[in-house]
Structure 1
Amino acid sequence: MNKTDLIDAIAEDAGITKASAKKALESFLTNVAGTLKKGDKVSLVGFGSWSVSQRAARDGRNPQTGKTIKIAAKNVVKFKAGAELDGSVNTPAKKK
């Protein structure tokens, strides 16, 4: 599912226009990104939580030349699935 498919599904499920669904989705994404940028955590009970952690600088290797390179430290976004999401994904398929 891509962004357009998600917008279509939200519009249909919520009984709203695609334009309204797009606005709502973009607002959600903007707010999640803004909160993470501030270093805060975003939690949706049952669905999951997003957080930011620091990845330390490290040495890497250029696969073409084999030379050692320095990889800079950076912030990375992590997502941990909630119990309901995890359960829905890991429920065995029913046999027909």
Structure 2
Amino acid sequence: MTKADIVDIISMATGLTKVETEAVINGFLSTVSDALMEGKRVDFRGFGSFSVKKRASKIGQNPGTGEAVPVPERYVPVFKPSKMLKEAVDKNMKHSR
């Protein structure tokens, strides 16, 4: 599913125009992104949470040459689904097969 698909679905469900719906979605994504860039956690009860995790530095390997390459530490966004979401997905996938 793409962002355009989500815009279409929400637009039809709410009666908002696609332009209005896209503006709301862009605002939502921007707000979540800004919070993560500030190191904040973003929680959606019943859905999950977004947070930032520190990945430690390590020594990697160049696949072409086999040479050891230092990989610096970095911060990455992560999503942790709620128990309710995990259970709903599991139940639905079992019944759809």
Gaps of 5+ in 1: none
Q: Name 2:95's counterpart in structure 1.
A: 93
Gaps of 5+ in 2: none
Separation in structure 1 between the aligned mates of residue 17 and residue 87 of structure 2, nearest angstrom: 31
Q: Name 1:51's counterpart in structure 2.
A: 51
SS in 2 for 1:76: strand
Displacement after TM superposition at 1:31 (Å): 0.3
- Per-residue CA deviations over 1:41-73 (Å, capped at 9, x if unaligned) read 000000000000111111000001000001111
Q: Name 1:5's counterpart in structure 2.
A: 5
- Per-residue CA deviations over 1:7-46 (Å, capped at 9, x if unaligned) read 1111112221111110011001000000001001000000
SS in 1 for 2:53: strand
Compute the TM-score of the two structures, normalised by the length of structure 2.
0.92
Amino acid at match of 1:15: G
Displacement after TM superposition at 1:84 (Å): 2.5
Displacement after TM superposition at 1:88 (Å): 1.8
SS in 2 for 1:90: helix
Q: Name 1:81's counterpart in structure 2.
A: 81
Amino acid at match of 2:28: F
Structure 1 or 2: larger helix share? 2
Displacement after TM superposition at 1:83 (Å): 2.3
Question: What value does the CA root-mean-square deviation take over the aligned residues?
Answer: 1.3
Q: Percent identity?
A: 34
Displacement after TM superposition at 1:82 (Å): 1.1
How many residue pairs end up in the alignment?
95
Amino acid at match of 2:85: L
